[in-house]
């Protein structure tokens, strides 16, 4: 035996950073492992899966110091342009017709989770580095998805929602409209000025990263009782990411 990896396995590796390796799922077993991690992270009583899984690429982040333990995963649904936006997971909850005219390749990023026993911030950096590598390799021009707050009660997140209203609403040309029956219209209802410290403390880490790169959100949150979350539609136009942030991401992606 030569010990060499098969060529398709090598091509599946998006990022290899000493301790952590990010790669694309290569088998049904890989996808099942991601679904099991999602079950653990989301606190469901069965493997987390839905019909979108079969149409997505799944990214697995493994801790090589722990024998390749799966510590993070997310999935990507790639679209040629905005004409396919209605096929996305997010389109179940938001009227995304404003994005129909987006002319470049898009990726919906979803089901992002980290193993609850791993708190290393490098995991998030490696995950974003892997996404950056994929974006660069495939000429992606927009990332989007649903960014989730834990639970369905809005009271503890009012500063975070106020900050989203004042600083991070989507451009009018892309703004999602209400579709779900149960929503919190924070942009219309909140009159408070945000406490920025409290806002950042209550902001989900994934959403915080989107915002740091120039991401924007819908003007309302969907109350998703099936997943026990509040979520906002989140978009990130690759061309709008600040140059300094792009350099940092690409430095991780190398």
Give the mean pLDDT of 100-114: 96
Angle at 175 between CA 171 and CA 176, to 5 degrees: 160
Long-range contacts of 176-181 (CB under 8 A, 24+ apart): 176/94, 176/95, 176/96, 176/98, 176/99, 176/218, 176/219, 176/233, 177/94, 177/95, 177/97, 177/98, 178/94, 178/95, 178/220, 179/92, 179/93, 179/94, 179/95, 180/93, 180/94, 180/222, 180/223, 180/224
The larger pLDDT score, comparing residue 40 to residue 252, is at 40
Rounded to 5 degrees, φ, ψ at 47 are -50, 135
Distance CA 93, CA 40 (A): 24
Q: What is the tens place of the pLDDT at every residue in 6-49? A: 434 445 888 888 799 999 999 999 999 999 999 999 988 888 99
Rounded to two decimals, what is the model's pTM?
0.91
Give the mean pLDDT of 123-137: 91
pLDDT of residue 38: 97
User: Virtual CA dihedral for 200, 238, 231, 71, nearest 10 degrees?
Assistant: -80
pLDDT of residue 8: 46
pLDDT higher than 70, residue 4: no
Give the mean pLDDT of 162-185: 97
The larger pLDDT score, comparing residue 251 to residue 93, is at 93
Residue boundaries of the structural domains of the chain: 7-253
Q: Which fold has domain 7-253?
A: Aminopeptidase (3.40.630)
Distance CA 50, CA 89 (A): 10
pLDDT higher than 90, residue 96: yes
| Mean pLDDT of all residues belonging to the chain | 92
- Token code pair at residue 55: 């149409």
H/E stretch holding 126: helix 121-138
Angle at 70 between CA 66 and CA 74, to 5 degrees: 150
Q: What is the tens place of the pLDDT at every residue in 210-236? A: 999 999 999 999 999 988 999 999 999
Q: What is the tens place of the pLDDT at every residue in 178-203? A: 999 999 999 999 999 999 999 999 99
Give the mean pLDDT of 157-179: 97
Listed in sequence order, the residues at least 6 apart from 135 whose beta carbon sits closer than 8 Å to its beta carbon are 107, 143, 238
Instruction: Identify the CA nearest to 39 among candidates 121, 137, 147, 111.
Output: 111
- Token code pair at residue 200: 């950042």
pLDDT of residue 45: 87
């Amino acid at each position: 035996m030569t010990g060499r990896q098969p060529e398709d396995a090598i091509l599946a590796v998006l990022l290899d950073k000493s301790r952590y390796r990010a790669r694309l799922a290569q088998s049904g077993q890989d996808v099942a492992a991601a679904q099991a991690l999602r079950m653990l992270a989301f606190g469901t009583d069965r493997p987390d899966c839905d019909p979108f899984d079969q149409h997505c690429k799944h990214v697995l982040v493994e801790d090589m110091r722990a024998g390749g333990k799966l510590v993070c995963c997310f999935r990507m649904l790639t679209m040629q342009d905005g004409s396919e936006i209605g096929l996305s997971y997010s389109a179940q909850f938001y009227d995304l017709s404003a994005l129909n005219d987006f002319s470049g390749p898009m990726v919906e990023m979803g089901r992002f989770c980290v193993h609850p026993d791993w708190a290393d911030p490098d995991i998030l950096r490696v995950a974003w580095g892997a996404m950056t590598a994929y974006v660069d390799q495939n000429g992606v021009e927009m990332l989007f998805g649903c960014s989730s707050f834990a639970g369905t009660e809005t009271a503890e997140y009012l500063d975070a929602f106020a900050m989203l209203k004042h600083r991070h609403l989507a451009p009018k040309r892309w703004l999602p409209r209400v579709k779900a029956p149960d929503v919190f219209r924070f942009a219309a209802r909140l009159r408070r000025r945000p406490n920025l410290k409290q806002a950042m403390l209550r902001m989900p880490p994934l959403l915080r990263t989107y915002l740091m790169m120039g991401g924007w959100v819908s003007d309302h949150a969907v109350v998703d009782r099936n997943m026990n979350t509040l979520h906002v539609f989140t978009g990130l136009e690759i061309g709008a990411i600040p140059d300094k942030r792009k350099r940092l991401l690409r430095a991780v992606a190398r």
